[in-house]
Structure 1
């Protein structure tokens, strides 16, 4: 499973999706306490490989804000790919970010990690929106 698939899985299936019936139509509460619909049976849009399901109108900001509150530390997932990955309890190391950049088609130098990180956070948020995630308009292009 690719890094972006891991992000999608953590966002959608973070709480009780593992215990949900296989039908996928059950409602599963997200970490912030609001209900979200089950996964769609459609593959992810945008050419991202190995993404098992698309998000269906999932309030990504609400989920991430809830997870940040549970972490007990200040994480700025809106502007930092490292903080977004930490919020989801995923590997945020440079090698993991380089892998994610490669997976998403980054064409710049991965040796310039600052530029790569800025591109990554924008690209990940845009890909989440393309796959049905709801995000504030100021975070996506």
Structure 2
């Protein structure tokens, strides 16, 4: 599993854990044949709400909206330069990974853009 997949699972999994299912097991069994034909679209995950909740319990100020390092720390992931270079490769960064400031700015915007593409509700100013 790549780092971006881990980021997605940390954010989307956290949102699913906070939203309990209201469907009873017998109803699921009765509806099972119909769900294959018409699976309902999953509700978008409010990325800002999930991250704000995590930040409230972080115990330190983290600028996760604009810092890839702080976002990774907030999610409990490795924020090392090597890890960020691997993420840049995974997300097809075409610039020099030696220019870490430029790479980091690109990474945070790209991560939020990719989260939006994959079902996340992300504030527009986080991706530009």
Work out whether the TM-score is over 0.5. Answer: yes
TM-score by length of 2: 0.78
Larger Rg: 2
Structure 2, gaps ≥5 residues long: 22-41
Q: Matched residues in 1 for 2:20 and 2:89: separation?
A: 31
- Normalising to structure 1: TM-score of the pair? 0.71
Q: For residues 63 and 82 of structure 1, what CA distance do their matches in structure 2 show?
A: 17
Which residue of the other structure, out of 129, 137, 140, is the alignment partner of 2:116? 129
Aligned residues: 108
Map of 2:55 onto structure 1: 68
1:20-35 matched pairs, under 5 angstroms: 28-29=17-18, 35=19
Greater RCO (CA < 8 Å, at least 6 residues apart): 2
Greater fraction helix: 2
Contact in 2 for aligned 1:36/1:58 (Cα 8 Å): no
Local SS of the residue matching 1:71:
coil
**Residue aligning to 2:28:** none
Superposition RMSD on alpha carbons, in Å?
A: 1.8
Alignment match of 2:85 (pick from 67, 89, 98): 98
Question: Contact 1:58–1:133 at 8 Å: present in 2 too?
Answer: yes
Unaligned runs of 5+ in 1: 18-27, 30-34, 38-54
